[in-house]
Structure 1
Amino acid sequence: MGKIVRVGIIGTGGIARDVHVPNYLKCGEQVEIVAVSDVVKEKAEKLAEDFNIPNVFSSYEEMLQKVQLDAVSICTPNKFHHPAAIAALQAGCHVLCEKPPAITAKEAEEMASAASKAGKILTYGFHFRYAPQVEMLKKFIDGGELGDIYAARVTAMRRRGIPGWGVFTNKELQGGGPLIDIGVHMLDTALYLMGYPEPDTVLGVTYQKLGNRKGVGLMGSWDWENFSIEDMARGMITFKNGASILLETAFAANVEKIDEMSVTLMGDQGGADVFPLKIYQEKYDSLIDITPAHLPKRNYHEQEIRRFVDGCLNGTPPLSTAEQGVYLQQIINGLYMSAAKGEAVKIGEIAHTHLTQKEGEGFDE
C-alpha cells in the first residue's frame, strides 16, 4: 500500500454522513474517499455529491469489484455487517465496522477468521475507548493502581430515548434493542479496562413494557405498532478468571436521569467510576478519592478513524480487535438466549443461531 488509503463507504446513513466521512477527510492527504455504496442509490448519490466522492454504487459487491480500495467503513444496519465485512476482507481491504460486530456469535467468529486469513485489520467502532477518561484510567490500571479488577457495573439507560429514525426498533435488521445498540458500548468499555477476560456464564432478562405503546419520545416518534425489540435488558456475566459484571440498559424506563452511560470498576487495590472519572483507594490508613483536575477535550470518533488509518498505513494494531469482537458477541447473544430460556447459559453452549421473536425473546409482557 502507498501512503494514501483509498476508502470505500458501505451504507450512507447518519453514521456515515456525520462521523465516518467527515473524520476521514480530517486525515488530509493520507486518505482519499473514492467510492460509496447503498442499496438506496439516491442516498449514496447525495452523499457523494455533498462530499465530492467520485464513484457511486447500489451494491458493495459491485463497488469492491470495480474500484481498487485499501479499506472500507461498514455503516449498514447490523444484519449486513457480516456479509459486507467478509466480502471486503476477501477483496483485500482493511475493515472498520460499526458496532456491534454482527447479529450472531458465529458471524463474529467467521469475520475474525476471514480477517486472519486475509491478513487484514478488522476493527469495530467502539469509540468510547478513545475517551480521555478511559485512556487515563487505563494507565492507572496498567500501573497496578486498581489491582485485580474482579467486579464491574455497566449502565446505559435512557428515560425515554427510543430512536424515532432508522431501523433501531426493527429486530430483524438490528438483532435487538438497547442491549445490542447502546449497552454494547459500555459493556465493551468495561471489558477493555478489565483486559477482556474470557466469558463463562450469562444470565439475562429482557422486557418490552413501554416501547410497544404510544408515549413521550425524546428522540422523535417511533413506530410503536411495529416495535419488535426489547426496551430494557438486565444481566449478569461471569468470567473464567472469576470476575463478574452486572449490566442494565434501556431505551425507555421510568428512572430519573434522561440519559446515563456509566461504568464502575472494583478491584482489590482500588475502584473507579469512569463517566465522570473518579478513582477510589485506601492509602495511608485513609480512604481517598482521586479526581482529575483536567482532561483534554477530544473527538472520540476522530481518534478512532485516525487509529484505523494509521493501522492501514503503518500496521499499528487496532485498539478493538476481531477476537474481542467474538467475546463481546458471545456475551450479547448469550444474554438474549438466557432471557428466552429463562435460565443461565454457558457461553460454550450457545447455539450459533439468532433467536427470532417467535422463538422467544424473553420479553416479560
Structure 2
Amino acid sequence: MDPITLAVVGVGKIVRDQHLPAIAKNPDFNLICAASRHGKVEGIDNFTSIEAMLDAVPTLEAVSLCMPPQARYQAAVTALSAGKHVFLEKPPGATLSEVVDLKALAAEKGVTLFASWHSRYAPAVEAAKRFLAGTRIRTLKIEWKEDVRHWHPGQAWIWEAGGLGVFDPGINALSIVTHIMPKPLFVTKAVLEFPENRDAPIGAEINFANADGVEALGEFDWRQTGPQSWNITAETDAGHMLLSHGGSRLAIDGREEDHGPEAEYPSLYARFASLVRGKQSDVDLAPLRLVADSFMLGKRKVTEAFHD
C-alpha cells in the first residue's frame, strides 16, 4: 500500500524530539508538510495555520496535532471536517467534553481519531499488566516527581488554565495505571497545590480506590531536582512489583528482567497506521477522566510563587 500522507501541526520540542524521528522510520507514512505559528520542519512545505495547509495540500490524508491542549480542539474539528485522520498528542484535549465531541465527529466523517498515550508503550508496561492480572493486588502507589525547569523550560502554556500543570507529566502515570490495573480506579480524595502566581497545580496528592477495595496513592510533584522519580509500585500476593523509569523497567521482589529498548513513539505511529488502514478509532479517555475527577474533588492549597 502507498504511504499515508501526513502533516504535523505545532512544531515544538516534542515534535523534534519524538514525532519526526518516529515518522522518518515508519514506511507507512510520508511526511509532506507542517503547520506552526513559529516552528518549521526542513525539507517539506511549511504553513502558519492548519487552514492554509489544508487548502494548499489536497492530497494530505492525516495530521498529528501537537500544539498545547487548549488549542487542539478547533484544529481537530478543522481536520476531521476536511476528512483527515487525526492523531492527538497527549492529553487529547483540554476537557473531556471536547474529546467526546471529536470522537462523534470522526465517526460521522468516517475517519480515524487516535488519542495517543505514549507511556503505555514503554517496554515493561505489558509485562506489568500480565503480572497484576495473575495476582491479588493489596495496595498501589504512584510516585511521579520531576523538575519542571528541566523538562518544560519557559513554557508558559502549562501554567495556564487547561494546561494541566503537574498533570502534564502525571497523566503519563495515569495512562499506565489505567492500562495495567485489572479493574478501573476512581478518585476518592485529592489535594492540589497551586503556586500563588499560577493557574495550574505544581503538586498533587491523590487517593484512589476500585471496586475490589484496592487503595492507591498518587504523589505528583514538579519541584524535584536531581534524580527524577517515575515509579509505580504494587504490593501483591505474588510479591512486590516495581515499575520504574516511566514504565521502562519491571522488577518483582527485586528481580528485574530485560523488556527491550524504548520505542514509545514508533509504537504510537505503528498503532496510528493500523487504525487508519483498518478504518478504526482509539479514543480512551480514562487517564484524562482521572485528572478531571481530581480537579472536581481536589482541595486547593496555595503555595509559594513559582518562577522559571
**Pairwise same-fold verdict (TM > 0.5):** yes
- SS, match of residue 291 in structure 1: strand
Q: Find the counterpart in structure 2 of residue 184 from structure 1.
A: 171
Are 1:207 and 2:172 an aligned pair? no
Identity of aligned residues (%): 23
Cα deviation code 1:223-269 (max 9, x no counterpart): xxx6443211111233456444321111115x8x6310011234555
**Paired letter, 1:260:** S
Which structure: greater strand fraction? 2
Structure 2 partner of 1:265: 234
* RMSD of aligned Cα (Å): 2.7
What letter matches 1:103 in structure 2?
A
Contact 2:65–2:88 (CA under 8 A) maintained in structure 1: yes
Q: 2:272 aligns with which of 300, 308, 332?
A: 308
Identify if the C-alpha distance between structure 1 residues 159 and 62 changes in structure 2 by more than 3 Å, giving closer, same or farther.
Answer: closer
Where structure 1 has 5 or more consecutive residues not aligned to the other structure, the ranges are 213-225, 281-288, 343-361
Q: Retained in 2: the 8 A contact 1:202–1:331? A: no
Which of 212, 216, 231 does residue 245 from structure 1 map onto? 216
TM-score normalised according to structure 2 size: 0.84
Structure 2 CA distance, aligned partners of 1:295 and 1:236? Answer: 30
Question: What CA deviation, in whole Å up to 9, does each residue of 1:144-201 have, x standing for no partner?
Answer: 4224x464222210256462233354314x532112x11000111011001572x554
The residue aligned with 1:348 is none
Aligned partner (choices 131, 134, 144) of residue 145 of structure 1: 134
Q: Counterparts of 2:89 and 2:170 in 1: how far apart (Å)?
A: 14
2:31 corresponds to which letter in structure 1? I
Moved more, 78-87 or 226-235: 226-235
Give the residue type in structure 2 aligned to 1:58: T
Query: CA 1:120/1:23 → structure 2, altered by over 3 Å: closer, same or farther?
Result: same
Structure 1 residues 1-365: aligned runs within 5 Å: 2-28=1-27, 30-40=28-38, 43-44=39-40, 47=41, 50=42, 52-53=43-44, 55-67=45-57, 68-141=59-132, 144-147=133-136, 149=137, 151-158=139-146, 161=149, 163-172=152-161, 174-179=162-167, 181-195=168-182, 197=184, 200-208=186-194, 227-240=198-211, 242-253=213-224, 258-267=227-236, 269=238, 272-275=241-244, 276-280=249-253, 290-292=255-257, 294-314=258-278, 321-322=282-283, 324-325=284-285, 327-339=286-298, 342=299, 362-365=300-303
On the 8 A contact 2:80/2:109 being kept in 1, the answer is yes
Q: Deviations over 1:43-80 (max 9, x none)?
A: 23xx2xx2x11x32221123234323221111101101
Higher-Rg member (1/2): 1
CA displacement at 1:99 relative to structure 2: 0.9
TM-score (norm 1): 0.72
